[in-house]
Structure 1
Amino acid sequence: MTTPGPVTPTSVDVAIVGAGFAGIGMATQLARRATESFVVLERADAVGGTWRDNTYPGIACDIPAHLYSFSFRPPTDWATLYPRGADIQRYLQRTVDDEGLAPHIRLGCELRQARWDDDGAYWSLVTGSGPIRARVLVMAVGRLSEPHLPDVEGLESFTGTVVHTASWREGLLSGGERIGVVGTGASAVQVIPHLAENAEELVVFSRTPPYVVPREDRRLSDSERAELQVPENAQALRERLLHDADKGFRQRLGLHPDIDDIRDRALGHLNRQVASPTLRAELTPEYEIGCKRILLSDDFYPALERPNVVFESSALDSVVECKARAVSGNTYDLDILVMATGFEATRPPAATRIRGRGGRVLADHWSDGMVSYASTTVSGFPNMFVLDGPNAALGHNSAIYMIETQLDYVVGALDFLAHNGSRSLEVTAQAEEDYTREIDERSAATVWLTGCESWYVDPRSGRLTLLWPGTAVSFRERNGTFDPQPYLTETRPQDRGGPSR
């Protein structure tokens, strides 16, 4: 386990908030450059982000291992096609160890407030380990860091145990419990088959059923693993996986026959695995495929046909002591409620703690949904970069590829600051507005805006604010290289210059 350094610096060139994939990736790039001082602030007691927090039974990634890893790290000896959560956590910890990042990481150090100082042109941070002054702020808190709990009447009266999948703890189950799972998203389809094995009764509350396609995971043979330890082989596989996954974006545009093929694959999987006509009907989505996340599983549907499993095709409505009532009116006596209800993705709570130029709160700037330029910078917030934030995720490909694209952009901006003699860099409001309009126009034709309720879409504005409405490769082409043209720069006092472009 990474241990905190003995002293937290009071002044650094770059402060990184978050020690998940994005934060560790940024730290690795800075450590290799060795030109900027930096610190990584992590509120938890270990690195890993999503893969540290989520330890529920069955936790795994739905992107192949050789694509869901850094291209700039030597290939890892992955045991399976799709990496398990614990394997990813070990990969990130090994990155910290191999890259010598531990002295830069402050664990148990939460960012309480960040405020831009207009006069000094730096970020003033209030943290759990004291104040820090940083020339550049990199927000790497991700989209899956704040669990979402639905507003369920009487939930506080439940006499059993309520646990979110992101807050799972060892020893929670001893066997024979009556368990309710709320939700049928990505974490639910992974945890449900495992809970069903030992539960006396398992009730699955489903507001809307998901589309599920075969996962077809398997262990890699010894010869395959040896072959993929060769960097050239691992890189070739990564490139092939990337481009194969990008072909799936045609489905998200609703293009034929692509969308018909994936829909047929999902419904065929359902028909093959579920014998009951009634249950098949309840599990058949009424929205267009791809509007919500398409899930991968080979054991979710079979688990629902077990005699101890009840599929409740309506949401959890209310709780009175041990009784959970569904919208349908059905009630169930339960010992444990597992909330597989996702995260506060479109409205990141960290935005309430960041104040930019003139004291403007980032959450207020994002009151109509997250906006940005190049999915990385925000007008009114100089020298700040947001990783894995507005329109920087994908519904069909690897988040790590997107993060690496943003890392290249940030490094380019740091180089510009250093070589141009500038003390601040701020994207113009017009550039942000134009980029937001571009995102909206590109989003209009996608399945994500066809009417289903999805965590990809901001609930207030109805805008697609999480996903990049294009391929992974197109994101790199659009946002992989820093261009100073849309930015206002402020030169250092000794240069006797004012704001310029």
Structure 2
Amino acid sequence: MPEVQVPLPDPLAPGQAVARHEVVILGAGMSGLCMAIQLKRAGIDDFVIIEKQPGLGGTWWDNRYPGAHVDVPAPLYSFSFAPNPRWTRRFASAPEIQAYMQALARSHGLERHLRLGTRLSEARYDEATGHWDFRTDGGDALRARFFVCSTGPLNQPRWPDIAGLDSFAGQRLHSARWDASVPLQGQRVAVIGTGSTAAQLVGPIAQQAGQLQVFQRTANWVLPRMDRPYGVLDGLLARFPPYAAAVRWLWMQVLEWGRRGFDEGTVARRGMLRTAAAHLRRQVKDPVLRERLTPPYPLGCKRIIYSNDFYPAFNQPHVQLVTQAITRVTPQGLVTADGCEHPVDVLVCATGFDTVQLLQSVPVVGRGGRTLQQAWADGPEAFHGLTVAGFPNLFLMLGPNTATGHTSTLLFIEPGVQHAIACMQAVRQGGHRSVEVRADVQRAHNERLQSRLAGSVWSLCRSWYRADNGRIVALFPGFTREYVRAVRKPDLADYRLG
């Protein structure tokens, strides 16, 4: 990879040698790899991928807890241009997904573009040159015409806000910072949280722990996971492109039908409600426990869990569901609202990520010295989750309002990458310095989004989809095909080319 070191007058470090590139990509997860591959296909080879972790994988590098797996069918968790015939089961495990990503990087020559174990300390747009200037924690300086932020919403672990958490004298783990060296065998383990992550790790931990207590604030909706291992015939057929494409298309239609389950009065919703009730009734025989595991909010308001082993874990005598609120943490364990202290050796926080305060770890400074954090003081927003007024030549992957409650994020990543590269090419081929979404276009787009979301099921409860002010900042309200049509090919009338 060409990385020419030249002395460059730099407002961040006058006289310092600066590595020049056409594109800087922040994050080596799925969206970062997709962007890198498509840049190469577009003839743009001068880019660097900056990744804070020592290996690629993004959220799949971070989430190594027992039982970690994707919650959509594996045929939809590979890119359309790089299908994976090597999945061993319908819902792929985290190690399998990471192996797929490593194979992608090798086969597309991305390894030489990676700068692993590197953190950005600042990204600043230079209005005089139309370039972005970057500093790393190691003191290196870079400059690029385009900045692609591919960190996504699942990269900042959220610890529970409980008094005394730091005083705990035992082993404390976050699901996104798992330490496999911590012994669980025979230990008294507490898990805080019963969301998607907890539903995956509770079963495997129950197999090891001497005692397991799961602390639940709110019960969640759980549907069966239609999982099965793939056999030799599946693997052979998956290598036949028409078959692989047909399976992928079929799963897309199934999950798009499931999207209708979020709309009141639909056949899909009635079917999902019946299935969830039957699943709980079949797997939990104790009526008292079943009542405590019954969600108090409408189906779909929070992310639906797909699991076959979460409910059965609570039928075991050494596993206890605790629904009393945790009031404080002591060196020995947890104290709940009823005054009981629960002794604990290992405390596991399966409390997810901060999906509202995006990009808080890196100051991103746009036109006029305004930071992205300032622009997003009332909650993050962007145009199609991709571009932000006041921040020329910046592209977000899986930005605000691009999450989906029903299908694979990869179906949103691919058109987003196409959109971003088309904007870059408009600058490069048109002799321009910058491209920036118009503020009025971004504002109108988000007003339409929030109007649609205000009457949706997602507005009816507290969840990671919503900011503190009630705005839903994570989810796209429509179907996948709607987003793809709107995003794949940008209308340059929505942008200012400078």
Please classify the TM superposition score into its range, dividing by the shorter chain length.
over 0.9
Residue in structure 2 matched with residue 303 of structure 1 by the alignment = 313
- Are 1:468 and 2:476 matched, yes or no? yes
Does 2:468 match 1:449? no
Mapped contact 2:412–2:480 kept (Cα < 8 A) = yes
Secondary structure in structure 2 of the residue aligned to 1:62: coil
Does the CA contact (< 8 Å) of 2:3 and 2:21 recur in 1? no
Deviations 1:444-489, CA, capped at 9 Å, x for gaps? 2221001x11101112x21111111001111101112111101111
Partner amino acid, structure 1, of 2:124: R
Structure 1: give runs of 5+ residues left out of the alignment.
491-501
Matched, 1:223 2:233: yes
Q: Matched residues in 2 for 1:196 and 1:222: separation?
A: 32
Report matched runs for 1:43-442 at 5 Å: 43-129=52-138, 130-350=140-360, 353-442=363-452
Aligned-partner SS, 1:66:
helix
Deviation (angstroms), 1:375: 1.6
Equivalent in the alignment of 2:15: none
- Report how many aligned residue pairs link the two structures: 485
Which moves more between the two structures, 332-341 or 122-131?
122-131
State how far apart, in whole Å, the 2-side matches of 1:464 and 1:149 are.
21
Q: AA paired with 1:114?
A: A
SS at match of 1:202: strand
How far, CA to CA, are the matches of 2:70 and 2:317 in structure 1?
28
**How big is each residue's C-alpha offset from its partner over 1:273-329, in whole Å with a ceiling of 9 and x where there is no partner?**
101111001000110000001101111111011100110013322111113112343
What's the offset of the Cα at 1:169?
1.6
**C-alpha distance after superposition, 1:56-94 (max 9, x if no partner):** 110000111110111111433111001100000010011
Residue 256 of structure 1 deviates from its aligned partner by 2.6
The 1-side partners of 2:362 and 2:61 are apart by 24
TM-score, normalising length: structure 2: 0.95
CA contact (8 A) 1:351 1:363 kept: no
- Superposed CA offset, 1:96-135 (max 9, x none): 0000001111001111100000111110111135100010
Cα distance, 1:351–1:465 mapped onto 2, change above 3 Å: farther
Change (3 A) 1:5 1:80: farther
Contact 1:208/1:314 (<8 A) preserved: no
- 2: CA distance between counterparts of 1:351 and 1:336? 28
Q: Percent identity?
A: 36
Distance in 2 of aligned mates of 1:483 and 1:97: 34
Report the RMSD for the aligned CA atoms in angstroms. 1.6
Query: C-alpha displacement at 1:261, in angstroms?
Result: 1.6
Instruction: Supply the distance in 2 between the matched residues of 1:410 and 1:45 (Cα, whole angstroms).
Output: 27
After superposition, the C-alpha distances for 1:28-79 in whole angstroms (9 at most, x for unaligned) are 1112222351110001100001111111110000111110111111433111
Of the structure 1 ranges 378-387 and 253-262, higher mean CA displacement relative to structure 2 is found in 253-262
CA distance in 2, matches of 1:211, 1:183: 14
Name stretches of at least 5 consecutive residues in structure 2 with no aligned partner: 6-17
Letter in 1 for 2:84: P
* CA displacement at 1:167 relative to structure 2: 0.9
Alpha-carbon distance in structure 1 between the residues aligned to 2:337 and 2:240: 54
Cα distance in 2 for residues equivalent to 1:252 and 1:318: 36
Give the superposition deviation at 1:398: 0.6
Question: Is the partner of 2:74 in helix, strand or coil?
Answer: coil
Q: CA deviation at 1:393?
A: 1.3
1:351–1:440: structure 2 CA closer, same or farther, 3 Å change rule?
A: farther
Alignment match of 1:39 (pick from 37, 48, 53): 48
Q: Does the 8 Å CA contact 1:13/1:136 hold for their aligned counterparts?
A: yes
Partner Cα distance (2:157, 2:61) in 1:
14
Within 1, Cα distance between the matches of 2:83 and 2:254? 22
Which amino acid in structure 1 is aligned with residue 67 of structure 2?
A: G
Q: Secondary structure at the match of 1:348?
A: coil
Contact 2:222 2:306 in 1 (8 A): yes
Q: Which of the residues 468, 472, 486 maps onto 1:478?
A: 486
SS of alignment partner, residue 198 of structure 1: coil
CA separation in 2, counterparts of 1:150 and 1:194? 22
Aligned counterparts of 2:3 and 2:66: Cα–Cα separation in 1: 35
Quote the offset at 1:7 in angstroms: 8.5
Distance 1:442 1:287, change over 3 A: same
SS class of match (2:76): coil
State the Cα deviation string for residues 124-163 of structure 1 (Å, max 9, x = none).
1111351000100000001111100011111111110110
Query: What does residue 33 of structure 2 align with?
Result: 24
